[in-house]
Amino acid sequence: MKKTIHLLTLSALTLYLPTAFAGHEYDPDNAEEINEVCAGCHNEFGQGGKQGKYPRIAGLPKNYLQKQLLLFQDRERPNMPMVEHVEKRQMPLADIEDISTYLSQVELKTKLPPADEKAPGFNAYARLEEAKKLMQVPRAEGDIEKGGKIYGRECRSCHGKKGMGKGDTPQLAGQYTQYLWRQVKRFLKGERIHDEDAPDEELLKDFSKEELRDIFAWLSVQDD
């Protein structure tokens, strides 16, 4: 019975998404103000932190961000630390729309171009500011080559060629490995639904720990 309700809510949510925000005009000032709250955990540019205790949220697809915020709000996806921040009173639909637009547009760099301090116009301050927007996932343990092969066969069709996401499906490369592992557990426990077209067939259930470890190793070097 519980499952039926859950599925209904999810499909209602999906139907509702494209029309929910129709007519809302993006308000970047409001978005920046909201981001100050998010920054408390996810960092100033949404790059996340504490080795993935807080995931990267910058540059994820807008519809994906909206959907996750609604799932948190409806307690369909567990996230205790965020509960008070996503309550309906705290975060009306217009705010969800604004912060999702804002974050989806943040581009993080993985490295800085070589510095030429003698070049005319070199600006040390600007460079320092740029450096704050860097995010590089540390190399994760595992067999990169094997992982790349499994990824290409099993994940690429949805998560994109280099793990960088595709359409509304989020990127896995450029995301903290520890966070990804935590989501694997959530999928396997049924706390999150991976593929709404086949909610009872968890995509990751037949992979061994080694296979997932190798996939994550491959993903962790895609941003090198």
Interaction site with ligand HEC (CB under 6 A) = 34, 37-38, 40-42, 54-55, 57, 60, 65, 67-69, 79, 81-82, 85, 99, 154-155, 157-159, 169-170, 172, 175, 180, 182-184, 192, 194-195, 203-204, 207, 215
* Minimum CB distance to ligand HEC, residue 23 (Å): 22
Element (H, E) at 41: helix 28-42
126 or 198: CB nearest ligand HEC: 198
Question: Which of 175, 174, 185 shows the shortest CA–CA distance to 207?
Answer: 185
13 or 133: CB nearest ligand HEC: 13
* Minimum CB distance to ligand HEC, residue 158 (Å): 3
* Minimum CB distance to ligand HEC, residue 115 (Å): 32
34 or 137: CB nearest ligand HEC: 34
User: Which residues are bridge partners to 134 per DSSP?
Assistant: 109
129 or 195: CB nearest ligand HEC: 195
* Minimum CB distance to ligand HEC, residue 215 (Å): 5
E strands in the chain: none
CA gap 96, 91 in Å, rounded = 6
Identify the sign of the CA torsion 15, 158, 180, 198.
positive
55 or 142: CB nearest ligand HEC: 55
Q: How many CA atoms lie within 13 A of 188 on its CB side?
A: 13
CA gap 10, 2 in Å, rounded = 12
Please report where in the chains the tokens 């859950």 appear, as a residue.
6
CA gap 108, 174 in Å, rounded = 9
* Minimum CB distance to ligand HEC, residue 110 (Å): 18
